[in-house]
Structure 1
Amino acid sequence: MQRFTLQTIESAPEKSRPTLKALEEKFGFLPNVMATMANNPVLLNGFAGSFGSFHGGSLDEIEKQVLLLTNAVTIKCPWTVAAHSTFAIEDGIAESEVMAIRAGRLPKDPRYAALSALTKALIETRGNVSDADIDAFTSAGYSKAQILEVVTGIGISTMAATTANMAGTPIEDRFQPQLWSAAA
């Protein structure tokens, strides 16, 4: 059940409009979760600021999608799983790696596996990860400082997933081929 209006640039609250316009330009369309967030400028503008910072970080596009897709699956959000599955494939991740993450497994690539494992551990333990979790991440070639970048990615993805789940945000036609539902 859709609980919030999908705002457009024209219908959104005044303080959401510039951000919506910038997001539409970036994506080439206005994703429904952002149109939902636009009902409250505090959420939308906070999301957009963190989103821009995260996407200017040190992780490459595939690593970002591994992180974001892992977060989506861990939080059990059909909208963000469908969206990030689509973006991951478009960014060049092997479909087998996407399917592994969607099934709750680690990717075969050791670096992506370390990133996915740390992301999941941070979410499931609410940040109370072990030294072994951190060592596994840094042993894969990541820096300790990049853990904080992972935290940023989790934060923005959690904003989107929580909004989509709570609001009943509909999944766009573009993402329909990647529909997903949590295992019972």
Structure 2
Amino acid sequence: MTTYPIDTAPEGSRPALAALRGALGLVPNLAATMANAPSLISTFVAAFGQFGGTRFTDAERQVLLLSNAVTNRCAWAVAFHSTVALAHGAPADAVEAIRRRELPDDPRLAALSATTRALIDKRGHLDEGDVKTFTAGGFDEVQLLDVITGLAISTMANYTGNVADPPLDPPFRAQAWNDGY
């Protein structure tokens, strides 16, 4: 699939790409690939913007998104979210644990990672124990709905990455990931 620079992207994709460039300082190749479908990139950018308004810290948001990327086996997104998680203060050992499909030692991050993985693995059918794991980590049930927002964002990005396999941008190459499958 084509990876578009802003000036040659479909007209309907340009505002979303410009917003990403403004927020990130670049248009990542995954987003430039999502630009093939203006509805996809526009929805993704709007949802991502709303996700920033949750009560999760920046590091927690990245732990959630990284957990989703690993669970969905999207190498591009794992590299991206590993890089951003570390930049936002997520502990390096937590990032490495998630990349190995393990839970972080930090109980709060472990609860967040376990819950997001359970939501994917169980297709949203959490049991009482899953919810208790989440709330025992210091989160409330309303934040569980914010996790679903993160899952929706990740689904768009991870599935695009898996289908289109865009090249990994230079800033994220140090965190390249092989899922071992």
Aligned residue type for 1:142 = F
Per-residue deviation, 1:41: 0.5
Give how far 1:168 is off: 1.3
Count of residue pairs the alignment pairs up:
181
For residue 5 of structure 1, what is the aligned residue in structure 2? 2
Aligned to 1:36: 33
Write the deviation string for residues 91-148 of structure 1: whole angstroms up to 9, x where unpaired.
1112111100000000000000000000000000000111000011112211101001
Structure 1 position 132 matched with structure 2 position 146: no
Pairwise CA distance, 1:6: 0.8
The residue type equivalent to 2:145 in the other structure is: L
Which amino acid in the other structure matches residue 18 of structure 1? P
Q: Alignment RMSD, CA only?
A: 0.7
Partner of 2:147: 150
Q: Displacement, 1:18? A: 1.1
User: Does residue 1:84 correspond to 2:81, yes or no?
Assistant: yes
Query: Secondary structure at the residue paired with 1:10?
Result: helix
**CA offsets per residue over residues 22-45 of structure 1, 9 Å max, x none?**
111100011111100111110011
TM-score w.r.t. length of structure 1: 0.96
Matching residue of 1:54: 51
SS at match of 1:86: helix
What is the aligned-residue identity percentage?
A: 48
- The residue correspondences of 1:55-70 to structure 2 (distance < 5 A) are 55-70=52-67
**1:101 maps to which residue?**
98
Which residue is equivalent to 1:120? 117
Mapped contact 2:60–2:90 kept (Cα < 8 A): no
Runs of 4+ in structure 1 off by over 2 angstroms are none
**In structure 1, the residue corresponding to 2:7 is in which secondary structure?**
coil
Superposition deviation, residue 162 in structure 1: 0.4
Q: Residue type matched to 1:60 in 2?
A: T
Amino acid at match of 2:11: E
Q: Deviations over 1:149-182 (max 9, x none)?
A: 0000011011101001100111011111101011
Structure 2-normalised TM-score? 0.98
Distance 1:124 1:41 in 2: 29
Shift of 1:49: 1.1
Deviates more, 1:137-146 or 1:113-122: 137-146
Whose RCO is larger (CA < 8 A, sep 6+)?
1
